[in-house]
Structure 1
Amino acid sequence: MEPPRGVLASIWNFVCFLPYFVGLLLLGNIKGILFCPLICLIITIGNSAISLGLWPIHFFWTYYSVLRAKRIGPVLKLILFICLPAPLILWPVVAIVGSVVGGILYGFLSPIFATFDAVGEGKTNEIFHCFYDGTWSTIQGSFTVVRDFMDVSLHSYLSIMDDLRQQELEDGKYYEIRLLHLPGAVVAGVLGFMIDMPMITLIALYKSPYMLFRGWHRLFQDLIGREGPFLETICVPFAGLAIILWPLAVVGAVMGSVVSSIFLGAYAGVVVYQESSFWFGICYILASLSLYDEYGNDILDMPDWSCFPRPRYRRNIVLSRTSSRASGISRPGSFRNPPSRVGSVKNPIIELKPLELQNPDLCFS
């Protein structure tokens, strides 16, 4: 049986476009390799100079704003004074490392994207733009990144600190910390981290093969049916690259689950502090495993079920085992059982007698 001409035409267009795509990709990579060191140098030097130059101002003004803040209580101010040096000292290190990584990514990827954009619809003199686009524009973009970082580090920071100092008290109440529940919150946070991190890692590793083959099945199904990312011929190489790199996406999802488990488990300390109960923190640790398990089942279209219990960890919130795809708002009983109108029919009808005038001539006299 001869295949339809549309399929042959699509395959021929794909074969003809493949060398064109490879050539653009190689040209973009060459430009990225050439301009990546310069872009990384500009962003790293600019952002590092800004973060180091403004660090004394950040250090002094942060302490001054916290001291003058009216919404912060005295005990909380004392704890902030003790804890603030750590993030303030780490801030320049984080800014420099982030600038290096961001400069490398921006300097390498921006010329590649600009090269492919040069052959888009409505472009003239495509050969010139294939070589020129992504060169000077990337250099200008790197200076824009440094200027934006300067605006955030100076103007936005000072604006946030001014808002912190100028906020007035609401009903005479300010933010304060309860020292009595702080040790229990710390213990619950550490315990949640120690339990949730290995358990969530095991759950993610257990479901990773299903995610791998499920994703491949969907991508190959779209490839055969020319749907999704395979709808346009120009997108076929990128979609094929997605099939090849899908295992890396699965590995990234597992690593993301491991990182998120740290914060998910440490949130048990917040629950203990808010509810003033260590027992609710333990309940949250167990419930968080169930929440993560059912959320993963929803993402992977697996059965909506979890082997982990989900106890209640809030005083005024009742958790139910419902899928995230289901509606979280239930209809009240008045909608399920509409009021009957039989009772109103059974009520006696009041008969109104017409008003009779004894002497109509008196009304017009």
Structure 2
Amino acid sequence: MRRIETNNYIFLFCFYGGISIIGLIKGLIILVPVLILSIFGFTGIALILLPHDVYFTYRVLLKTSIIGINLKFLYVLLLPLALVGWPILVLFLSICFSFIYSFLSPIVKTFDSDYELTFGGIYETFKEMEYYIEMFWDFNKKKFFSYLLDIERREVNEPFDINIIQIIIELFLACYGSVVGIIVLTPIWLIKLIPLVIRLYYIFIKWIMELSLHTFIMFSIFFIIYFCLIPAIGVSSILICVVYSLFGGIQCAIEGYKHNFLRGLICIWGYIYDVDLASNLFIFDKKYSCFPNCKNT
């Protein structure tokens, strides 16, 4: 429920602008405590349960009959990377989540008349964060490993396996695809970064122009914040290129296994084509790419 309804736009600007500022101040006040709670909560759980994760993961891997000995050997070599990287990933995501939630939650609750204007939403944000941490504990301690135990118990007539030479080839294709994707897409991203930011500003301003004056005034503080964050959003788009390159590398290995080595080598260029095509369509509103579509080659 909103706190007030009025057609006095000057009053609306002062009132909702003031409420937004109050919400932002509350977000700043609880940012560090929520950040500490989030880091110690989520990352602490990941570290505490790491021995548990290692034991159950290797147990399931070695006892399952779904995959053969060669793949088990490969997974035994690669699993430490995933297990060590898991707490690091949790730390990164918990920081991002706490930053967003510590601001968003009190701001939203400040606009809600069910919460007290000055301090409402602060205590509730901590309680909600505590609830999410408990959910994370429950998922990591019980639910996730129940899925792994199902894999351990599953019986198949013939396990899936790949010979050692094929595994080496697929690993090469995966690394090749990821490296080529990153090397090619990074300069493309650099070239298109400024046009991308300009396009984001254009879309944002066009969207703002279509809003009613009442809506614009109500959420003006958020529009200002988003306007300032657009360059950061543009820069963060490099993550899309990196993730897509890594995914393309995996797909190279799959294509090489399913078809042939040459198909695996060519596959990554199809993903580069996709990124170039999609970015040109979004930024320039033109459906073209400088690269050939090699996906079906």
Q: TM-score range by the shorter chain?
A: 0.7 to 0.9
Residue pairs, 1:291-306, within 5 angstroms: 291-300=274-283, 302-306=285-289
Name the amino acid aligned to 1:54.
L
The corresponding residue for 2:294 is 311
Gaps of 5+ in 1: 1-8, 315-365
Distance apart, 1:236 and its partner CA:
4.2
Distance apart, 1:152 and its partner CA:
0.7
The corresponding residue for 2:184 is 199
Gaps of 5+ in 2: 1-5
Q: Pick the aligned partner of 1:213 from 181, 195, 198.
A: 198
Q: Pick the aligned partner of 1:272 from 215, 240, 256.
A: 256
**Contact 2:62–2:72, Cα closer than 8 Å, also in 1:** yes
**Contact 1:230–1:239, Cα closer than 8 Å, also in 2:** no
Matched, 1:42 2:37: yes
Name the amino acid aligned to 2:251.
Y
The corresponding residue for 1:179 is 164
Distance apart, 1:48 and its partner CA:
4.0
Residue pairs, 1:192-271, within 5 angstroms: 192-226=177-211, 233-271=217-255
Matched, 1:163 2:163: no
- 1:129 aligned counterpart, secondary structure: coil
The corresponding residue for 1:328 is none
The corresponding residue for 2:3 is none
Alignment CA distance shift 1:45-1:238 (3 Å): closer
- 1:130 aligned counterpart, secondary structure: coil
Flag as ranges the 4+ runs of structure 1 deviating above 6 A. Answer: none
Q: Pick the aligned partner of 1:143 from 105, 130, 137.
A: 130
What CA distance in whole angstroms lies between the structure 2 residues aligned with 1:226 and 1:97? 36
The corresponding residue for 1:55 is 50
What CA distance in whole angstroms lies between the structure 2 residues aligned with 1:41 and 1:226? 38
What CA distance in whole angstroms lies between the structure 2 residues aligned with 1:273 and 1:267? 10
Give the aligned CA root-mean-square deviation in angstroms.
2.9
- 2:294 aligned counterpart, secondary structure: coil
What CA distance in whole angstroms lies between the structure 2 residues aligned with 1:231 and 1:101? 28
Name the amino acid aligned to 2:68.
G
Residue pairs, 1:332-347, within 5 angstroms: none
Distance apart, 1:230 and its partner CA:
8.2
Distance apart, 1:295 and its partner CA:
2.0
More helix by share: 2
The corresponding residue for 1:74 is 69
- 2:116 aligned counterpart, secondary structure: helix
- 1:70 aligned counterpart, secondary structure: coil
Name the amino acid aligned to 1:292.
V
Distance apart, 1:225 and its partner CA:
4.3
Q: Cα deviation per residue 1:308-352 (whole Å; 9 max; x = unaligned)?
A: 1223556xxxxxxxxxxxxxxxxxxxxxxxxxxxxxxxxxxxxxx
**Contact 2:245–2:271, Cα closer than 8 Å, also in 1:** no
Matched, 1:129 2:113: no
**TM-score for both structures, normalised by structure 2:** 0.84
**Contact 2:17–2:221, Cα closer than 8 Å, also in 1:** no
- 2:90 aligned counterpart, secondary structure: helix
- 1:84 aligned counterpart, secondary structure: helix
Alignment CA distance shift 1:59-1:289 (3 Å): closer
The corresponding residue for 2:273 is 290
**TM-score for both structures, normalised by structure 1:** 0.70
The corresponding residue for 1:86 is 81
Alignment CA distance shift 1:50-1:242 (3 Å): closer
What CA distance in whole angstroms lies between the structure 2 residues aligned with 1:81 and 1:222? 51
**Contact 1:286–1:311, Cα closer than 8 Å, also in 2:** yes
What CA distance in whole angstroms lies between the structure 1 residues aligned with 2:265 and 2:87? 37
Alignment CA distance shift 1:230-1:264 (3 Å): farther
- 1:132 aligned counterpart, secondary structure: coil
